Amino acid sequence: MKSIKAALIDATLNTVETLVGHLPDPAPDPLRNAREFIGKPYPRVDGRLKVTGQARYATEHPIAGMTHAVVVHSSIAKGKISHLDTQAAESVPGVLAVMTHRNAPRMKTPETASLFNPVAGSNTSVPVMQSADITWNGEAVAVVVAETLELANYAAGLVGIRYEEEPAALSLEAEKGNATIPTLVVTQSPEVNIGDAKAALAVAPVVSDQEYETPWQNQHAMEPHASIAAWMGKDQLLVYDSTQSPPGVQHNLARMFDLKPEQVRVVTEFVGGAFGGKVAAWSNVPLAAAAARLVGRPVKLALSRAGVSMVVGGRTLTQQRVALGATLDGKLTAMIHTGYGMRTTKDVWAEQYTFPIRHLYASPNIHVLQKVVRLDRVQNSYMRAPGETPGSFALESAMDELAHKLGLDPVELRMRNEPDKDPTHGTYFSSRHLREAYALAAGKFGWDPQRPEPGTQREGDWLIGTGVATAFYPVQQLPVTIKARITADGHVEVSTSSIEMGVGLATVQTQHIAERFGVPYERARYLHGDTDLPMSQASGGSAATSSVGAAIHAAADKLTEKLLKLAQRNKQSVLRGVKRKNVELRAGGLYRLDQPAVGESYEQLLGASGQAFVEAEGSVPASALVLNMKTSMASYGAHFCEVRVHARTRQVQVRRFMSAFDCGRIMNPQTARSQIVGGIIMGIGMALMEEAVYDERTGRLMTPSLGEYHVPVHADVPEFEVYFLDEPDPVMPMGTKPVGEVSIVGTAAAVANAVFQATGIRVRHLPITADKLL
């Protein structure tokens, strides 16, 4: 039974979707097929800075009087601090302070981002060091500030703490009876009912009905969560932070310290990996600011590798049921996807593991339901393709199981169930070239529809198997504002607070600027990562390229009008009297559409006016922000994997991995390939090794370092073959679609399906370790 709140939200979303459905489609971007700069493999604009060590990350900014901070973590999951002894730590020469709830500056409770406050800036609403309460094992309970990092680390070990422990909810399995239905899954209902899936499943000639589990996964970016905080007087705060959202951190700190946003400046020049873990602020950021206020000097706080795993939330563990019913010729008649993820006492964030089944395959009967289980753990949060990644493991494994029962090629099963419209929303696809992606990848891979029986193909001591899976990631656009400036010497500069976290955004936007304004590549410049620049939302959800691109397009339209006005004021201008609809930005100036050779360069237009520059702000149009309610928009891919499994030791090796993608227009094939390969590597890690293990008696993390929590290294992965269809989407800015996250989706299933083909053993509980294949 839905709550009144959930029903009201559903009704509101349905009304908005109806209204959006009447909006006209946006005009196609004229740059969809432009190829002078877009589509070329330009090297990264920041590459030289990075390889020469000149790129400055969060804690590498020199500030006079710098101090160093180390966090002390709780060792219980729930309860209160009953005793604190900081005397030994405070007596160490060089220690400036030991901050606890007893002496920490007063901070308001952080606010989590929502539909109604998208830049709230925190991942959790748990108060930060304001009371003796303990919310999870690993929560920050003290911060030691010293002259050196070594002293701070030493003194942190001297802090004595005793607790009054309370019973804690620590096991998803044990707490499932208390599960609840969340109000929303991202912006959609947690429940979908089309037809009668239960009845259709009961009479289906062929059925696959299984449960799948994925473990908790931790964030392990190369650069940990790290900050420098420095107070400039009592009410001006400067923060260098490794974040995906400088404005989010700015608004979070302003709220917590009772400041106006403009009193907080957040700078993020470079980010050493993020993968969703830095979309919003965790407690380390306000702790650095509070410690800096306490000692009256700048504070550098970088979480340790174990500290990241304790303070920063990762991907929720899941238990999922996928039931598929089909006719004897492989047409789906019923699809059911239900399951459990976690939430915490304070916050609910339901990860969208049922999204793939809502959009990938046609069926007249669909039932989807997500539930959440309250646990006393660190808040789960964004991690590369959150939700879609564990959900695709379950769905794509189930499709493989159904194909095996049918005796049907798993590629053919997917093609027989390709929808002509979105299966749950009923909207049309803006573009969907999944068939073409499968055809391309299957041909390149040498896929054989008539594969041998599972467990029968060998090369010496190795069992050989191949598997496939579909990749899917939805399109979204986020609020972004940029400022574009054309100078009298013909340069174009675009600035925004949106960040570059290593994905190549600065490079592709430099290409875009050159293409949009018709200037040489070396005359285009992209500035980013500073809240003194125009506001943007977090860089995440594979939305930065299209969102920033849409804002640049909007600014270019405004600049076209401003330049035309300059021409109208100049009696000598060849553009005087020309209408706006008959001019465009091209070849470093403003030119007529009907007489392409007639126009003036930026230098001529600004020189004649006596202006040093002309500038305009541009934002993502409101119609673009809701376009995915009118149209089903996503990137798609086809994964093909070959593994070998040692017959005696059961060691699994991924020998080949090949994928083809429909990601719309590819802005830069070099940076795009890098993103795709990175996602596949993370997916292989999910399939074969990544698992955060918790002691369910204490809530203690038993895999705090990379010595226990394993991630792939070069020896664990093969050479990758990646292909792009490079088909522009007709409604997206520049024809682009998501690239950064789609490739991790389906990867674990492709590996698992290949392992089944090699061994005849179906592993439904990740990771696939040797003990599960014995």
Q: Quick one: average pLDDT of 377-405?
A: 98
Q: How confident is the model at residue 681 (pLDDT cuts 50, 70, 90)?
A: very high
Structure tokens that stand for 677 in this block: 């390969």
pLDDT for residue 627: 77
Around Cβ 715, how many Cβ atoms within 10 Å? Answer: 6
**CATH code of domain 31-54+478-619:** 3.30.365.10
* H-run or E-run covering 333: strand 332-343
Instruction: Give the span between the Cα atoms of 154 and 16, in whole angstroms.
Output: 56
- Please report which confidence band the pLDDT of residue 247 belongs to, taking 50, 70 and 90 as the band edges: very high
Tell me which amino acid residue 606 is: L
Give the model's pLDDT for residue 423. Answer: 97
Q: Please give the model's pTM, rounded to 2 decimal places.
A: 0.95
What are the angstrom distances between the C-alpha of 397 and each of 183, 235, 322, 386?
A: 28, 55, 9, 18
Active site residue 741: yes
What mean pLDDT comes out for the span 287-315?
A: 98
pLDDT tens per residue across span 459-504: 999 999 999 999 999 998 889 999 999 999 999 999 999 999 989 9
Contacts of 731 (CB under 8 A, 6+ apart): 25, 26, 28, 430, 627, 631, 633
Q: Across the beta sheet with 492-496, what order do the strands follow?
A: 524-528, 492-496, 481-487, 613-619
Average pLDDT over residues 124-139: 97
pLDDT band at 625 (very low <50, low <70, confident <90, very high): confident
Report the first-to-last Cα separation within the chain, whole angstroms. 44
DSSP assigned state of 194: E
pLDDT tens-place string over residues 695-751: 999 999 999 999 999 999 999 999 999 999 999 999 999 999 999 999 999 999 999
For the segment 507-549, what is each residue's pLDDT rounded down to a tens digit? 999 999 999 999 999 999 999 999 999 998 888 899 999 999 9
The arithmetic mean of pLDDT across residues 642-648, rounded, is: 98
Three-state secondary structure string covering 19-81 = HHHCCCCCCCCCCCCCCCCCCCCCCCCCHHHHHCCCCCCHHHCCCCCCEEEEEEECCCCCEEE
pLDDT average, residue stretch 86-114: 96
Strand partners, 83: 162
Q: pLDDT by residue (tens digit) across 572-607?
A: 999 999 999 999 999 999 999 999 999 999 999 999
Which residue, among 243, 481, 190, 479, has the nearest Cα to 382 in the 3D structure?
243
CB 373 within 8 A of CB 343: yes
Tell me: the pLDDT tens digits for 2-57? Answer: 566 666 666 666 666 666 666 667 778 888 888 899 999 999 999 999 999 999 99
Residues whose CB is less than 8 angstroms from the CB of residue 217 and which lie 6 or more positions away in sequence, other chains included? 314, 315, 383, 686, 690, 691, 692
Mean pLDDT calculated for residue range 342-349: 94
What is the per-residue pLDDT for 314? Answer: 96
CA dist., res. 632 & res. 474, Å (int) = 8
Cα(544)–Cα(542) distance, integer angstroms: 6
Mean pLDDT of 119-123: 79
User: What share of the chain has pLDDT > 90, as a percent?
Assistant: 90
Confidence at residue 2, expressed as pLDDT on a 0 to 100 scale: 58
What mean pLDDT comes out for the span 108-112?
94
Cβ-count burial of 132 within 10 angstroms (0-12 exposed, 13-18 middle, 19+ buried)?
middle
Q: Is 432 helix (H, G, I), strand (E, B) or coil?
A: coil
Q: How far apart are CA 144 and CA 153, in angstroms?
A: 8
pLDDT grade for 292, boundaries at 50, 70 and 90 = very high
pLDDT at 1 over 60: no
Please give the pLDDT value at position 360: 98
Distances (CA, A) of 106 to 103, 127, 291, 569, 694: 9, 10, 11, 57, 32
Ordered by start, the domain boundaries in the chain are: 1-30+424-476+622-774, 31-54+478-619
Q: What percent of the chain has pLDDT over 70?
A: 96
Alpha-carbon gap, residue 405 to 99, rounded angstroms = 61
Predicted local confidence at residue 695, as pLDDT:
97
From 213, 388, 600, 741, the catalytic residue? 741
Overall residue count recorded for the chain in this entry: 774
**d(C-alpha 619, C-alpha 616), whole Å:** 10
At 69 the pLDDT is: 99
Q: What is the pLDDT of residue 630?
A: 84
> How much is the pLDDT for 20?
63
The C-alpha atoms of residue 165 and residue 82 are separated, in whole angstroms, by 9
Bridging pattern class, strands 599-601 and 462-474: unpaired
Tell how strand 634-646 and strand 652-662 pair up.
antiparallel
- Which CATH number applies to 1-30+424-476+622-774: 1.20.140.10, 3.30.365.10, 3.30.505.10, 3.40.50.150? 3.30.365.10
* Contact yes or no for 170/373 (Cβ under 8 A): no
Given a cut of 90, is residue 87 above it in pLDDT? yes
Beta strands, E only, 599-651? 599-601, 613-619, 634-646
Confidence band of 275 (pLDDT split at 50, 70, 90): very high
Mean pLDDT of the chain: 95
